[in-house]
Chains A and B, each alone.
Chain A
Amino acid sequence: MNHPLLKLFSRRELVRGLGALAGATGAAALGLAQNNAPAEHSGGSGHAAAATVAAKGMSAADHGSNVVMGVVDPETNGFDPMQMLVDWDYGKVSKLPGGQTLREYEFVASEKEIEIAPGIFFPAWTYNGRVPGPSIRCTEGDRLRVKLVNGSSHPHTIHFHGFHPANMDGTPLPGNGGLVQPGDSYTYEFDAVPFGCHKYHCHAASLKRHIHKGMYGAFVVDPKGGRPPAREFMMVMNAFDTNFDGGNEVYAVNTVGFEFAHRPVPIRRGELVRIYLMNLVEFDLLNSFHTHGIMFDYYDHGTTLEPTLRTVDTVAQMQGQRGIVEFRAPYTGPFMFHAHVSEFAELGWMGHFNVVEEAGWAEALSRVGLTAEWDKRGLDGATVAWKGGETA
């Protein structure tokens, strides 16, 4: 076997060559052995630069350099995924003659270019200039009055999940309220029942496009007796098909990919954390939510006071499914949370919790640009079932 040709081209490589040749150009049909050993590092200038990046990226442990370059300035979008975790919208509150609490909202549909990952802009359709739209928060039995003003160039609707009369369903079906044409408006009015972790979205056709363009949001109805006090977050799992090929390029929670990997979400060790989680991803059948180092209870649709799943660390949600996640983190430190669909995680649906003791709380907040106001809003959510109600 010391003939140069035989040494050069081993049997194994020949076989591989035949297989790999399918894509080779015609004249390239003659294969060539891939038996050169891995090249030694020559320390060329180009490699030195690459090595620096590698070293920087690899500091993120097992996920290596799976990051986006740069950050999204919340000023650009006019909304901040971190603030969206806690910015419940209780509406304009008043009392109806019978004593029922009335919450009034105005949603303006508009077209807006939003930055969904650093440097990547998406031509979104929005409610009130944000994706997801306002997070409606109310108590079971409240009267909701939501006026949709269509300031965009396409017809839209608002379709709420939950019990309501047919003409408040917000679909093009005759008797369902119909499409709200550009320049027109329509007011959806119904009682908020049942309590749960609900959502709303546009139901104009094409449904896929109107949803993945950004027309959706949280609709959380608290039980009359409220839920135990907790730090509460609103997380909409969403994604964007930037090249309109029927598959998503960027996955996220609250719109901006990798945002919570750049800015870990602060929580206190041992405190009760409640996440209103919903899946608004289009095109993919399933999405999921997975916590590291933490097991949680799960309330599917949030329509029960008892968990529907206990002590799990991964839960799947199909398109439009949602539920409530509750946990207490037993250890301090950085912990990932992400879709346990690895593809989505690597395309942006990746975040971190920063679990700290009381002593580290202020630092954890300031590190990601948060103030005491964010802290307060996060804790207030659960205790304001009555907010604007009894006090008004």
Chain B
Amino acid sequence: MTREPESKENRWGGFGWVLALIPLLLLGLVLAYLVATGGGLRELAGPPLERVKIERITLPAPGVIRLEVVNDGPQEVTIPQVLVDDAYWAYTVTPSNTLPRLGRATFTIPYPWVAEETHRVVLITSLGATFEGEIAAAVVSPRPDASLFGRFALVGLYVGIVPVLLGMLWYPWMRRLSRPAMNFILSLTVGLLVFLAVGTYLDANEFAAQLPAFWQGVPAVIFVALIALGALLALGARQRGEVGALELSYRIALGIGLHNLGEGLAIGAAFALGEAALGTFLVLGFTLHNITEGVGIAAPVVRKSPGLGHFALLCLVAGGPAILGVWIGGFAFSPVLATVFLAVGIGAILQVVWEVGRLVARDSAALGQPLVNWVNLAGLTAGIAVMYLTAFLVKF
């Protein structure tokens, strides 16, 4: 018996990696064969399937409508004509009205749209398929001038920074609370975070549903959220033992910040699309709705004294993104970015649910109580209930 296995390996010397290329080379050959000959599948070819998506409609000036269109179907599509409000209309297009798969085009239509009224846009393909877009209430798309920048920032301020700041002002009071009472507050924090996680997931799905099909938006939200969660958990696990109290506050602030970024994006986008108008009542509603966020951020550090500087920074991390979100959403909205931001936000929030939950578990154990006790459950329920009920002010 010779020792054949070894000699075989030796024969390749240091070129074993070539073996890994063989399947790829064969794959290339199969693909080339299919492309060149059809591989005998021609009879299976179905009728042509055209699909395009109006990704974004803007009104850059009075009398002008602009459409950003993407071909998310399986084949090239030509769009010979464009209709506005059931009328064929002249247009210019760049780069071409023939869009390859995944290709994009921008249609500019000189149309005398009517302010604050609804308009419908339809693209018609060479095979007569139609694809619709709607301008809910026509307004000139916002442009980043100083005044609007400032007004958007103000909205972000009231929606993000102010409630977080106000919520944090409960900090001195929370320091005087007994351990069981503090456990109630921490459970309440878990409750509000769970509410935010669910809300962020639903919002992410709304944006994901607007994406061209090839992005596979809905599963992508779950994967991005899981990856974000995993990465944050891995970062936390690097240090021995538990995450420090202050660091936990920062993580909660980060998660809430990403959520508020998404909220800001949606507000800015709704404004840009003419879908929303903002009233004092609604701003107050949001301020009230988000106020428990500050409680949650401050809760882990009641046994420390981090100093004002840290509180200011926490407030900025949690609330500041709302301003950024309104800017991005209002001036340069992208459903892709919005989906990604929100999905990362879900992961970040889930991670702090885990961390704060561990904190509650540890403190409950110190008091000789099980994790699920009536105080903790009441706190969790209160957290969700407060968020749910205050959401009445901002959901229509």
What residues of chain A have their CB less than 8 Å away from a CB belonging to chain B?
Answer: 4-6, 8-9, 11, 13-18, 20-34, 36, 38-39, 41-42, 44, 46-47, 49-54, 56-58, 64-70, 117-122, 240, 242-243, 245, 249, 257-258, 343, 346-348
How far does the alpha carbon of A197 sit from the alpha carbon of B358 in the complex, in Å? 87
CA distance A333 to B270 in the complex (A): 49
**A122 CB to nearest chain B CB (Å):** 6
Q: A66 contacts which chain B residues (CB < 8 A)?
A: 87-89
A118 to B127, CA, bound (A): 11
Q: Do residues A53 and B80 form an inter-chain contact, with CB atoms below 8 A?
A: no
Q: Is the interface of B mostly helix, strand, loop or mixed?
A: mixed
Contact, CB under 8 Å: A28 / B90: no
A119 to B81, CA, bound (A): 7
Residue among B62, B111, B159, B280 facing the most chain A CB atoms (10 A cut-off): B280
> Is B60 touching A39 in the complex (CB atoms < 8 A)?
yes
**Across the two chains, which residue of chain A brings its CB closest to B110?**
A54
| Residue from B81, B92, B268, B285 with most neighbouring chain A CB atoms (10 Å) | B81
Chain B 126-162, CB-CB to A under 8 Å as 1, else 0, gives: 1111100000110111110000100100110011000
In Å, the complex CA distance between A9 and B279 comes to 5
Within the complex, the shortest CB–CB distance from B375 to chain A, in Å, comes to 32
- Report yes or no: B128 in contact with A31, Cβ–Cβ below 8 A: no
Residue of chain B at shortest CB distance from A63: B87
Give the Cβ gap from A156 to chain B, nearest Cβ, in Å.
22
CB contacts (< 8 Å) of B66 on chain A: these are 46
| Residues A68 and B88 in contact, CB atoms below 8 Å apart | yes
Partner of A23, one of B64, B136, B202: B136
Q: Once bound together, how far apart are the Cα atoms of A190 and B243, in whole Å?
A: 97
Say which residue of A17, A22, A58, A346 sits within 8 Å of B282 (CB atoms): A17
Nearest-Cβ distance from residue A99 to partner chain B, whole angstroms:
50
Q: Which of B174-233 contact A (CB under 8 A)?
A: 199, 202-203, 206-207
Instruction: Convert B237-275 into 0s and 1s, putting 1 for each residue whose CB lies closer than 8 angstroms to a CB of A.
Output: 000000000000000000000000011011111110011
Please tell me if the beta carbons of B92 and A49 are within 8 angstroms of each other in the complex: yes
Is A56 in contact with B61, judged by CB distance below 8 angstroms?
A: no
Instruction: Report Cα–Cα, A136/B271, bound state, in Å.
Output: 60
Known: A64-B112, A68-B81. A121 touches B128 (CB 8 A): yes
Name 20 interchain pairs, CB-CB below 8 A, sorted by A. Answer: A8-B155, A13-B279, A25-B206, A29-B394, A30-B155, A31-B278, A31-B279, A32-B268, A36-B139, A39-B143, A51-B110, A53-B110, A67-B88, A117-B80, A121-B128, A122-B128, A243-B128, A257-B88, A347-B87, A347-B88
Verify A21–B263 contact, CB threshold 8 A. Answer: no
B298 CB → nearest A CB, Å: 24
Cβ distance A360 to chain B, nearest Cβ, rounded Å: 28
Q: How far is the CA of A68 from the CA of B89 in the complex (A)?
A: 6
CB distance from B218 to the nearest CB of A (A): 15
- The residue in chain A whose Cβ has the minimal distance to the Cβ of B289 is A30
Q: Given contacts A65-B89, A65-B111, A346-B87, is CB(A38)–CB(B80) below 8 Å?
A: no
Give how many B residues have a beta carbon under 8 Å from the other chain's beta carbons. 74
Contact at A31–B282, with CB atoms within 8 Å?
Answer: yes
A13-B278, A21-B276, A47-B60 given; A120·B126 CB < 8 A: yes
A36 contacts B140, C-beta separation under 8 Å: yes
Q: Does B331 contact A (CB under 8 A)?
A: no
CB distance from B266 to the nearest CB of A (A): 4
Cα-based distance from A13 to B136 in the complex (angstroms): 15
Contact B206 A36 (CB under 8 A): no
Specify the chain A residue showing the minimal Cβ separation from B274: A34
- B195 CB to nearest A CB, Å: 13
List of 10 A-B pairs having minimum Cβ-Cβ separation, nearest first: A119-B80, A242-B128, A17-B277, A14-B279, A54-B110, A346-B87, A32-B278, A28-B270, A27-B266, A32-B271
Q: State whether B80 touches A65 (Cβ < 8 A).
A: no
Q: Is A5 in contact with B90, judged by CB distance below 8 angstroms?
A: no
Q: Distance (Å) between the CB of A282 and the closest chain B CB?
A: 15
**Is B9 interfacial (CB 8 A cutoff)?**
no
Quick one: which of A29, A65, A117 contacts B90, CB cutoff 8 A? A65
